[in-house]
Amino acid sequence: MNRINRRDVLRLAASSALLSALPFQRAFAQSSGKLIAATPYGIPQVILARALEDPAVKKLIPESELKAWKDPDQLRAWLARAEVMLTATPTNVAANLYNRGVPLVLMNVNVWGTLGMLGLKEKGPLASVEDLAGRHIGVPWRGDMPDLVFRYLIGKAGLEVGRDLKVSYQSSPFETVQMFVAQRLDAVVLPEPMRTATRLQTAQFGQMPAELDLQEEWARLTGEAPNLPQAGVVCRREFLDQHPEQVAAIQHAISRAVDWVVATPNEAALIGSQNSPLATSVFEGAIPGTRIHMATAAESRPRLEAFFTALTDLSSGFIGGKLPGSDFYLREMASNAGGKV
C-alpha cells in the first residue's frame, strides 16, 4: 500500500484551494470532435475519467482531454473563456458562475458528503459538534463551503465563535494540516480526500485522530437526511445546445461510473492514483469516506435550493446573491440507450 507523504499533501492542497469568451472550438473542436473537460484532483476526477472512457461516450466522442484545475479561480477562468465545456465542480461554484452570467447547465450531483473533522484525541471525544466547546478549530478557505457548513452547524448547536470556541482560518488546507500535525490546532475541518491524507500522515507520527462526520451532524441538528449536495458536473450551454446526444451519453456514463466507483473502490483507487499525484492509499480511504451517488440536476434541485438557502444566510456571496433560475438545471433527457437520464 502506498504511503502518504508531505509532497502528496502539498499537491492535494494546491488542487483543492477552491470574461472574455474565447472561440468555442478551443474546448470542442468540431472538426476533430475532441472534448476538453476539467476536474479537481480526487474522487470527481476518478468518476469523470471513467465516464469519458465509457464505450457509449467513446463512440460519440472518440477523443477527449481531462484537465485538472488547481483552484476555483482557474476553473472560473476556463469556464468563462469557454476553454472547457464540461467540468466537475462544487455546486456553489457552479451556481455562482451562473449568477455572474456564465452560460452553465448543471447536469447532476454525485458527491453528497465529503466534509468531516479530525480532532486530537488528547483533547477528549469528538462525538458531536458540541464537543468542540473550549477548543481551537482550524478551517481552510474562509467563506467557502467547508467554513459555511461548519458555522451553520455550530450555530444550530448553540455554540458561538469567540465565546465557546476559537476558530482560525488558513489560506490553504495544507496550512491547516501542517498546524494540526504540529498540534497547534485542537481540531480541523477538512473535505475528502484531504482528510484521509491527513489521517495517514498523522499515523506516521504515531497519532490517531478522532473523527466526526459533518453530514451526520447536519442530519442530527436539522432533522434532514445526511446528504448534502456538494459537487457535481456542469457543461456550458452551447455544448448542450449543439451536441445534446453527447451530453446525454456523458450523463448516463457518469451514472455508471459512480456505481462502479462505489462497487469497486480498490480498482477506482488505482485509476485515481494513475491520473493524479495522490497515492492509492488516499483514494482507498477517501472513497468509502465519501457519500457518492448520482442524481440528475432536476432530481437534486429541491435539496440544492434548501442547502443554498441555509448557507446563503451566512454569506450572501456564496452562490452570487440568489438561487439559480430553472435553466440552470438540466432537464430530463433521453439517453442514447433510449432511457431517461
Q: Helices in the chain by DSSP H: which ranges?
A: 6-16, 43-52, 55-60, 72-80, 91-99, 145-156, 173-181, 194-203, 214-222, 237-242, 244-263, 265-274, 280-286, 297-312
52/19: higher pLDDT? 52
Residue with cell 477528549: 124
Question: For 6-113+228-328, CATH number?
Answer: 3.40.190.10
- The tens digit of pLDDT for each residue in 72-130 reads 789 989 998 999 999 999 999 999 999 999 999 999 999 999 999 999 999 999 999 99
Q: Indicate the domain borders of the chain.
A: 6-113+228-328, 116-222
**Does domain 116-222 correspond to CATH entry 3.30.1130.10?**
no
Q: Compute φ and ψ for 167, nearest 5 degrees.
A: -125, 130
Checking if the pLDDT of 70 tops 90, the result is: no
**Whole-angstrom distance, CA of residue 106 vs CA of residue 93:** 11
Kindly state the average pLDDT of the residues 286-304. Answer: 97
What cell was used for 266? 480498490
Give the list of residues 6+ apart from residue 181 with CB closer than 8 angstroms, or none: 198, 201, 202, 205, 207
CB 56 within 8 A of CB 257: no
- One fold for both 6-113+228-328 and 116-222? yes
Mean confidence (pLDDT) of the chain: 89
Checking if the pLDDT of 196 tops 60, the result is: yes
Kindly state the average pLDDT of the residues 271-287. Answer: 92
Of 257, 311, 331, 320, which Cα lies nearest the Cα of 94? 320
